[in-house]
Amino acid sequence: MTVRQETEREEGEEREGGQEQEQGGDLSRPPSPVPGCPTCTELAIRRDDARAWFNGSAETDTNVLLRRHLRQEHGVRSSAARYLM
């Protein structure tokens, strides 16, 4: 079994068991803010502004901050994070 297949299997088990909410493992896709959360909203606005000004570095930085906030405050995590830590 490849790493990708194993990751997909584990993600399926976590969703079925309801243990954790998944954000997804694709780090090339921007994280989604939680509706109604002021911090998520602020970070999403910062990211949109950075994107509008073609500032890829600031956009990436904001995505990192949003992923960290989602993990720490909302229990949402990226499945790729387990391989990076």
What pLDDT does residue 85 have?
A: 41
What total number of domains does the chain contain? 1
Determine the Cα–Cα distance for residues 19 and 7; give it in Å rounded to an integer: 15
Full domain range(s) for residue 73: 3-25+32-84
| 71 touches 77 (CB < 8 A) | yes
Instruction: Work out the burial of residue 66: count CB atoms within 10 Å of its CB; fewer than 13 is exposed, 13-18 middle, 19 or more buried.
Output: buried
What is the pLDDT, as a whole number, of residue 76? 85
- The DSSP 8-state label assigned to residue 66 in this structure reads H
Tens place of pLDDT for every residue, the chain, 85 residues? Answer: 565 555 555 555 444 443 344 445 677 789 999 999 999 999 999 999 999 999 999 999 999 999 999 999 999 876 544 444 4
**What was the pLDDT predicted at 21?**
43
